[in-house]
Amino acid sequence: MTDIVNVTANVSSRINLMRIVLISGIVFVHIPFDTDSSPFNGAYGLFDWLRVFLRDSVFRVGVPCLSVISGYLLFRNGAALDYGRTIRRKTRTVLLPFLLWNSAFFLFVLILQNNGVGDGYLPDLTNVSPRTLATLLFATEGAPIDLPLYFLRDLFVCILLSPLLAMFIRRYPMPTLVFLLLLAALPISLGIVLRNSILFSFSFGIYLSLHRIDLTILDRYAAFIGAAFLGLAALWTTVAYMTAPEPPAWLEFSRDMMVLAGIPGFWALSAILIKSKPGQRLAETGSLSFWIFCAHHPALLTLWILWNRTGADLYPVFYLLAAAITLTVLPLTNGMARYALPSFYNLLTGSRTRRLAETLAVDGRRVTSE
For the chain, the residue count is: 370
Buried b (16+ CB within 10 A) or exposed e, 167-186: ebbbeebeebbeebbeebee
Residue 329: DSSP 8-state: H
* Complete DSSP assignment for 18-57: HHHHHHHHHHHHT----STT-GGG-TTTHHHHHHHIIIII
Confidence at residue 159, expressed as pLDDT on a 0 to 100 scale: 97
Give 10-residue mean pLDDT values along the chain (370 residues).
63 95 97 94 93 95 96 88 94 97 96 87 90 96 96 98 96 96 85 94 96 93 96 94 84 83 94 96 93 98 94 94 98 95 93 53 49
Summarize pLDDT for 4-15 with one digit per residue, the tens. 555 688 899 999
At 7, which amino acid appears?
V
Confidence at residue 85, expressed as pLDDT on a 0 to 100 scale: 95
Q: Please state, as a whole number, how many other Cβ atoms lie within 10 Å of the Cβ of residue 205.
A: 27
Query: Percent helix, strand and coil across the chain, each rounded to 5?
Result: 70, 0, 25
Residue 337: DSSP 8-state: H
How far is residue 223's CA from residue 273's CA, in Å, rounded to a whole number? 11
Short-list 368, 369, 366, CA closest to 8: 366
Provide the terminal-to-terminal Cα distance of the chain, rounded to the nearest Å.
22
What's the pTM value of the predicted model, to 2 decimals?
A: 0.93
**Positive or negative CA dihedral for 285, 290, 292, 293?**
positive
Residue 91: DSSP 8-state: I
Summarize pLDDT for 233-267 with one digit per residue, the tens. 999 999 999 988 788 888 888 888 888 889 999 99
